[in-house]
Chains A and B, each alone.
Chain A
Amino acid sequence: MFPNPQLQSAPASPEALAVPQVSGAVALLQGLVAEGVDTIFGYPGGAIIPIYDALYDFQEQLNHVLVRHEQGGIHAAQGYARASGRVGVVFATSGPGATNLVTGLADAQIDSTPLVCITGQVFAHLLGTDAFQETDILNITTPVTKWNHQITDARDIPAALAKAFYIARSGRPGPVLLDITKNAQLQLFEHAGYEPCTHIRSYRPRPVVRPEYVQRAAELINQAQRPLVLWGQGVLLGSAEAEFREFIEKSGIPAAWTILGAGALPTGHPLNVGMLGMHGNYGPNVLTNECDVLIAIGMRFDDRVTGRLDKYARQAQIIHLDIDPTEIDKNVTATVPVWGDCKETLPLLTQLVAARQHPAWRQRFRDHDAEEVAAVIQDELFPTQDELTMGEVIHQLNQLTQGEAIIVTDVGQHQMVACRYARLNHPRLSITSGGLGTMGFALPAAIGAKYGAPHRTVVAVIGDGGIQMTIQELGTIMQTGIEVKILLLNNQFLGMVRQWQELFHERRYSAVEIASPDYVTVANGYGIAARRVEHRPDLQPALRQLLSHPGSFLLEVRVTRENNIFPMVPQGCGVGEIRLK
């Protein structure tokens, strides 16, 4: 064995001699265990070998899932976090390993997913020298992390890790990256024990709620004749589903959801009036422009939800509940802002609002629903033509899963169909890439979701474009034996781009026809059972097989090629201009 000149212990003070000496890598893993981490998604490499070496001795406490690409690792950690409500953890090496995390970091940042990413880095004395596999990952990831930090001395690892977990999971959650130089991983030091972080001087994640604003919001709600609630992921992130439901049920206000808010109120709840936004339901979009008081809860008025801002809810008084002050007045100016954790603000509001029913106003949503069913939903879920539609696949899946499965979706037409039609009886059953719209998200995220919620059936609904972006993660399924149900909706197109080209670019189908491999053979090559269907009588038996097969299963469903997702708010239009066809 060659002596390593970088392996040096820090100078010991005499009184500290009783404290055990550990390496930075061991201290890191001890910290992860102390934070309650049970699963790590990662991929080793030269600059993170000391951590992997230490992991050898932690196999009983920390389950490491070897992915096939770091992007798969971080999406898996996102799926884990979203399904479990805990912090997802990723390991990657320096250079390309670290840069492969960037897409997932951006996705987690915009969707407020709590992650702690640990990247290895070259020896501290090599920093800035263009050393082998060196990248300035801190500067690369600054715009896509909530916080990031580089450690060059092992003694800083426990405190930095504690800070990382605290920042990732508190306030508005988000991804954090710790970059640890190899010498810091190897360095021995006297580790006095891991202390969780509960306070950072310059960071105040829980705003103080101002009762006068809650009071004012309640007054507005009590005067309202046509109030509408829009809820987003903030309800789920704050674990405020029960508080939210109480508020909705007492006030009797119809409530619509952003795709990241899906499931906070069960799909079948009488006050759940559907999905907002570009491909959302007809009623909530049209009536956004007719309500008199709009109550936005834990949502950020994304442009996919609002359409054109100058045509958005101009008639309404707007109450905005959010934990993040930067969201208030960012896109839509609030009449009354209620800054705070909605788990705290909603009960205060519920106390002050009057118990009401709003029957006539709620009837208007039902009227619009009937219109949407006649124009769109009937044909989508119960088609009369020969070819299968995405909607009927999701509809039949619902009948079998009964709203109890986790539905992980990729990005594109199938995503909009799945989000629109999937039934969800509980929170944290819908996992999708919302803000960033990352194709390739679903397969690895579904793997992570199954680790995060092992008792649930996890169905990854993926298009033929998205699956080919991270198809290598079938290897992760093969190696781990994790059970993921893959429902591949193949329309042989990059469907959403094709739809836009059809509607807005005169059917000039530029680079949207995408060939597929024989997915059944590919899956079989990875030891995963698979089947293809393209005829209606085969669909339900195949879905049953997908769900009942012991272990993972890939079901490819050939669906109609040129189906469009409606309703649709065309880009540059207001939500009131939503088209049914």
Chain B
Amino acid sequence: MSKQEYNITAYTENQVGLLNRLAIIFSRRKINIESLNTSPSEIEGIHRFNIVVHESEEVVRKIARQMEKQVEVLKVYFNPNEEVIWQEMALYKVPTDVIAERALVERLLREHGARVVLIRKDYTVFETTGHREETDKLLAVLHPYGLIEFVRSARIAIIKTSQGFHHKLREFERQQPGEEVSENEFLDRRDKVFSM
């Protein structure tokens, strides 16, 4: 099965040690995490992990189920790149004298949609957001001008088709503490279930 980038989105409790528990799921299968971001979600007390891996759908599905099996994990989605809006942020530190003297650089910055974050006598910091290839392009352009430092953030992604997890969580909570509801929607995706 062919591999591609998958964006794994996990909604979790904010719990010490959970990062380790989730990381082990990847490491014991020798799967490299390309990018990992965790932050509070739109729901109070619920954290959101964005994890990027380069793997086959079958492997990612199994990982997602293993993640969702963890006690503190509420919900895990996985999507290929075309199903998500995603961004990474990059910071570039460049000598200020080069920026000031070479108008060419300024033009390049404009072309790449970069913004100035800080200007000092000795260096200037630019910021840009976009897909990897976009931030990479500016990196390549700035290299010849004495780039001092570069850093790129983990990827953050929002699922295009999802109604958002907030709605689902409210639905879960509405039905609690009555009958416990589990979604087994992964079963719905099994197109070949009735293929006999």
How far, in whole Å, are A339 and B69 apart by their CA atoms in the complex? 14
How far, in whole Å, are A53 and B20 apart by their CA atoms in the complex? 34
How far, in whole Å, are A216 and B196 apart by their CA atoms in the complex? 11
How far, in whole Å, are A317 and B196 apart by their CA atoms in the complex? 8
Point out which of B177, B180, B190 has the most chain A C-beta atoms below 10 A from its C-beta.
Answer: B180
B176 adjacent to A339 (CB under 8 Å)? no
Partner of A335, one of B66, B177, B179, B193: B193
Q: Tell yes or no: A147 within 8 A of B by CB.
A: yes
B182 adjacent to A208 (CB under 8 Å)? yes
Q: Which A residue's beta carbon lies closest to that of B178?
A: A199
Give the number of chain A interface residues (Cβ < 8 Å): 35
Using a CB-CB cutoff of 8 Å, which residues 307-328 of chain A contact chain B? 317, 324-326
Q: Tell yes or no: A204 within 8 A of B by CB.
A: yes
B71 adjacent to A202 (CB under 8 Å)? yes
B176 adjacent to A330 (CB under 8 Å)? no
List, in ascending order, chain A residues with CB within 8 A of B184's CB: 207-208, 210, 325, 339
Partner of A330, one of B62, B179, B181, B182: B62
List, in ascending order, chain A residues with CB within 8 A of B13's CB: 201-202
From residue A336, how far is it (CB to closest CB) to chain B in Å?
7
Q: Tell yes or no: A337 within 8 A of B by CB.
A: yes
Partner of B193, one of A143, A201, A326, A336: A336
List, in ascending order, chain B residues with CB within 8 A of A324's CB: 69
Q: Tell yes or no: A13 within 8 A of B by CB.
A: no
Q: Tell yes or no: A142 within 8 A of B by CB.
A: yes
Q: Mark B20-31, 1 if CB is under 8 A from A, else 0.
A: 110010001000
Q: Tell yes or no: A353 within 8 A of B by CB.
A: no
List, in ascending order, chain B residues with CB within 8 A of A123's CB: none
Interface size class of B (residues with CB under 8 A): 20 to 34
Partner of A147, one of B68, B71, B182, B187: B71
How far, in whole Å, are A326 and B181 apart by their CA atoms in the complex? 17
Q: Mark B42-85, 1 if CB is under 8 A from A, else 0.
A: 00000000000000000001100110110111100000000000
Using a CB-CB cutoff of 8 Å, which residues 178-231 of chain A contact chain B? 198-208, 210, 213, 216, 220
Q: Tell yes or no: B12 within 8 A of A by CB.
A: yes
B interface SS class: mixed
B177 adjacent to A199 (CB under 8 Å)? yes
Using a CB-CB cutoff of 8 Å, which residues 335-385 of chain A contact chain B? 335-337, 339
Q: Tell yes or no: B17 within 8 A of A by CB.
A: yes
A202 adjacent to B73 (CB under 8 Å)? yes
The answer to whether A203 and B71 touch (CB under 8 A), given A210-B187, A213-B187, is yes
From residue B170, how far is it (CB to closest CB) to chain A in Å?
12
Partner of A139, one of B17, B65, B68, B194: B17
Using a CB-CB cutoff of 8 Å, which residues 144-196 of chain B contact chain A? 172-173, 176-177, 179-182, 184, 186-187, 190, 193-196
A167 adjacent to B24 (CB under 8 Å)? no
From residue A153, how far is it (CB to closest CB) to chain B in Å?
13
Q: Tell yes or no: A471 within 8 A of B by CB.
A: no
From residue B76, how far is it (CB to closest CB) to chain A in Å?
11
From residue A252, how far is it (CB to closest CB) to chain B in Å?
22
B71 adjacent to A198 (CB under 8 Å)? no
B72 adjacent to A204 (CB under 8 Å)? no
From residue A169, how far is it (CB to closest CB) to chain B in Å?
13
How far, in whole Å, are A330 and B62 apart by their CA atoms in the complex? 7
List, in ascending order, chain B residues with CB within 8 A of A199's CB: 176-177, 180
List, in ascending order, chain A residues with CB within 8 A of B20's CB: 139, 142
A200 adjacent to B71 (CB under 8 Å)? yes
What are 12 inter-chain pairs, A to B, with CB distance below 8 A? A142-B17, A142-B24, A199-B176, A201-B74, A201-B173, A202-B74, A206-B182, A325-B69, A326-B66, A329-B61, A337-B187, A337-B190
Which A residues fall within an 8 A CB radius of B? 138-139, 142-143, 146-150, 167, 198-208, 210, 213, 216, 220, 317, 324-326, 329-330, 335-337, 339
Those 4 A-B pairs whose CB atoms lie nearest each other, nearest first: A204-B182, A207-B182, A202-B74, A326-B65
